[in-house]
Structure 1
Amino acid sequence: MTSLDSYEKGKNYQEANNSYVIFFCCFDPLGLGLQQYTIHRHVDESPEHIADDGTTTIFLNIPSLRKDVNQPLQKFLDVIANRKVDGDDRFIVQLKKRIAFVKHNKKWRAEYMRLSLYEMDRRHGLKVARQEGIEEGKEEAILQVTSLFIKQQLPKERIIANLKEAYDLTDEEAEQYYKRCLK
């Protein structure tokens, strides 16, 4: 879904539905040490002016231990990161039950494993992921993340550093992805 999907033909711009894009990252996407980055568009010619178009992009740094987010979200991130979570919360109990069900359901197991890249990377490393045919998806993901960082006007050095850290790339590989996205 794009922010354009929020606009109905003939409707006023201010009447558009808000849209949110949320990235769950297993690295610090902007390298500032925060647990959550909330990004709104701004006017390039006047960066202090936020373009109030209803679009919000949120990056969540899953490995972060800062606990800067609200308690329910923190518990959810702790479950994703496979950290110990208090079992009294109804949502967390249901979430853990659902995860256990999906993990043990043969029909859903393949889908769960496909979607659980964070867990696969953590448990098996990128070598196993590559062996399981993830390489094409990895390249597409790198290109999408790089394009997003460029659109957010991050400095080139920060983008290269994030790509190297997140995807275990050399300087040359990260530079090539960066150049491909500039075209």
Structure 2
Amino acid sequence: MLTAGENYQSLKETYVIFLCPFNPLITEQQRAVGHYQMISEEGDYLNDGTHTLILNASGDWEGVSDELKGIFQLVLRQPASFGQLGAQIMDKIDEIKHSKTGGRKYMELTGAFWQDARNEGRNEGRKEGTDETIIKLIPDLVALTNDRQAVIKILMNKMNLSQEQAESYYKQAMEQE
């Protein structure tokens, strides 16, 4: 953004805006709007023209414009009853959903999103089921071999586990006994 030799403070103003349904920061503050700029550890502003805005829809809306409140309502999946912008955005979304090409694209995008979510849930469920099965299997293997290392070796070979994973499962199973 700068040419060689140009002053660093000549950078153009840049805004990064995070619109969140929750407070993404690990702070007690529940502000709806947080404005951040680059500052050194010594307290000197970098003056690089960058601004980061974190808009927290779950924060305190006191002092927030009605337009932003309407957008916050959309983020929180509520009907937009404040200002006009939230309602206009909702109308545009509905228009796109119900148009021939936009509706198809919308369905493709949401369909892909939900398919990904379902697949992720299935994979998580499979992993939990596999974890349970391995943990339930270990006492039987111990009863057969009475040899910790043999059980770990069986888990590594038959279940494709690393030694660390096999030992972790072994420990979990023995703690449940």
2:34 partner letter = Y
Relative to 1, partners in 2 of residues 1:40 and 1:82: Cα closer, same or farther, differing over 3 Å?
Answer: same
Selected match of 1:55 from 50, 54, 79: 50
Q: Which residue in 1 is equivalent to 2:79?
A: 84
Selected match of 1:105 from 99, 103, 106: 99
Selected match of 2:34 from 32, 37, 53: 37
Distance of 2:10 and 2:99 partners within structure 1: 43
Relative to 1, partners in 2 of residues 1:20 and 1:112: Cα closer, same or farther, differing over 3 Å?
Answer: farther
- Equivalent residues in 2 for 1:78-157, closer than 5 Å: 78-86=73-81, 89-109=83-103, 112=106, 129-131=116-118
TM-score, normalised on structure 1? 0.50
Mark the runs of 5 or more structure 1 residues left unpaired by the alignment: 1-6, 135-183
The structure whose residues are more often strand, as a share, is 1
Pairs aligned (count)? 115
Relative to 1, partners in 2 of residues 1:54 and 1:108: Cα closer, same or farther, differing over 3 Å?
Answer: same
Distance of 1:31 and 1:106 partners within structure 2: 44
Q: Deviations over 1:49-76 (max 9, x none)?
A: 22211111112222x1521433321222
Mark the runs of 5 or more structure 2 residues left unpaired by the alignment: 122-177
Q: Which residue in 1 is equivalent to 2:159?
A: none
Relative to 1, partners in 2 of residues 1:84 and 1:106: Cα closer, same or farther, differing over 3 Å?
Answer: same
Distance of 1:51 and 1:9 partners within structure 2: 19
1:131 partner letter = R
SS at match of 1:50: coil
Selected match of 2:65 from 67, 70, 84: 70
Structure number with higher relative contact order (C-alpha < 8 Å, ≥ 6 residues apart): 1
Fraction of identical pairs, as percent: 24
Distance of 1:107 and 1:93 partners within structure 2: 22
TM-score, normalised on structure 2? 0.51
1:52 partner letter = N
Distance of 1:17 and 1:114 partners within structure 2: 38
Q: Which residue in 2 is equivalent to 1:20?
A: 15
